[in-house]
Amino acid sequence: MECESTSALLDAYLDGELDLVRSLEVEHHLQSCRSCGAIHASRRALRKELASAALYEPVPSSVQANVRAALRRLASDSQSPRLIPWRRFALAGGIAAAILVTGVLATRSHTPSTNDLLARDVVANHVRSLLADHLTDVASTDQHEVKPWFNGLLDFSPWVGDLAESGFPLNGGRLDYLDGRSVAVLVYSRRKHVINLFVWPASHGDSGTTVERSKGFQSVHWTSEGISWWAISDLNAEELAEFGRLVRAAVAKAKGPETDR
């Protein structure tokens, strides 16, 4: 089975919807193909994250209060002989529509943005790499060994650089799954702190550097030269921001990720 066929069947495989023969074919391919295996592991972890109760918001108390008040008004109106039946139905329909609109607006106001979901996935992938002791697929401090390892596994050539002289040595790299696609992850360290640098083609234009904190981790991310960069660590914000500046400067010096070959 080829990678393209496996990718098309992967969701059905995860849902247990394939017959025995197809399931065995997919499973055999996942065991022999490290790229598809990494995608499978990441997608399975993502599905677990999406099932988390943290992604869902309870109905706001204001909406619940509106519903109770509307039901009380309907009950009161139903006892009034002056309100003919068709008007009661019209009133009920209008109140139901108002409640529906209020509920939709409230839900939308609590719906995580695309960037929020991406940030959540970055944290989940970072934590998973630490817990599963799977920081690297290729463990090396040599950028000329790490960079060629990605050849044929991605549809772009990621920049790879060693920042050891600035206190951020390269430890290796791995494949991961983020933003709906396979991405490169470059692993660096600062003393005993691990830094995961996720790299993948951007779907939008250049952006400035953003520093965020989520669930005890610091992250810096930006977009430049058609590439998205997202670094995450438990390192303090100042040093991680410095790491981001060093990466941006090194990439600019190399004139973009496609020239460092």
Which residues on adjacent β-strands are paired with residue 168? 163
What pLDDT, on a 0 to 100 scale, did the predictor assign at position 185? 96
Give me the residue label for tokens 């074919």. Answer: 25
Element (H, E) at 193: strand 193-201
Whole-angstrom distance, CA of residue 226 vs CA of residue 136: 25
Statement: residue 133 has pLDDT above 90? no
What pLDDT, on a 0 to 100 scale, did the predictor assign at position 174? 94
Residue type, 260: D
Burial class of residue 204 (count of CB atoms within 10 Å of its CB; 0-12, 13-18, 19+): exposed
The whole-number average pLDDT for the span 28-52 is 77
The whole-number average pLDDT for the span 106-110 is 49
Show Cβ contacts of residue 172 under 8 Å, excluding neighbours closer than 6 positions. 135, 136, 137, 138, 139, 140, 141, 146, 187
Looking at the structure, tell me whether residues 142 and 249 fall in a common domain. Answer: yes
Q: Please indicate, yes or no, if residue 261 is contained in any of the structural domains.
A: no
Residue 214 φ then ψ, to 5°: -150, 125
Statement: residue 144 has pLDDT above 50? yes
The stretches of 111-236 forming alpha helices (DSSP H) are 114-131, 143-149
Which residues on adjacent β-strands are paired with residue 230? 198, 221
Residue 205's CATH number = 3.30.200.100
- Tokens at 112, concatenated: 């995580």
Q: Please indicate, yes or no, if residue 200 is contained in any of the structural domains.
A: yes
Q: Please indicate, yes or no, if residue 259 is contained in any of the structural domains.
A: no
Band of residue 59 on the pLDDT scale cut at 50, 70, 90 = low
Q: Which domain holds residue 166?
A: 114-253
* Contact (Cβ atoms closer than 8 angstroms) between residue 227 and residue 254: no
Statement: residue 104 has pLDDT above 50? yes
Looking at the structure, tell me whether residues 49 and 141 fall in a common domain. Answer: no
The whole-number average pLDDT for the span 66-76 is 74
Which residues on adjacent β-strands are paired with residue 214? 217
Residue 161 φ then ψ, to 5°: -145, 155
What pLDDT, on a 0 to 100 scale, did the predictor assign at position 3? 83
Distance between start and end Cα atoms, the chain: 31
What pLDDT, on a 0 to 100 scale, did the predictor assign at position 157? 93
Statement: residue 105 has pLDDT above 60? no
Band of residue 109 on the pLDDT scale cut at 50, 70, 90 = very low
Bridge-based pairing state of the strands 170-178 and 227-233: unpaired
What pLDDT, on a 0 to 100 scale, did the predictor assign at position 261? 41
Band of residue 260 on the pLDDT scale cut at 50, 70, 90 = very low
Band of residue 28 on the pLDDT scale cut at 50, 70, 90 = confident
Looking at the structure, tell me whether residues 21 and 123 fall in a common domain. Answer: no
Looking at the structure, tell me whether residues 130 and 172 fall in a common domain. Answer: yes
The whole-number average pLDDT for the span 187-207 is 90
- Tokens at 5, concatenated: 């066929």
Looking at the structure, tell me whether residues 70 and 163 fall in a common domain. Answer: no
Band of residue 83 on the pLDDT scale cut at 50, 70, 90 = very low
Give me the residue label for tokens 């919807």. Answer: 17
* Average pLDDT across the chain, whole number: 80
pLDDT tens column, 220-254: 999 987 899 999 999 999 999 999 999 999 998 88
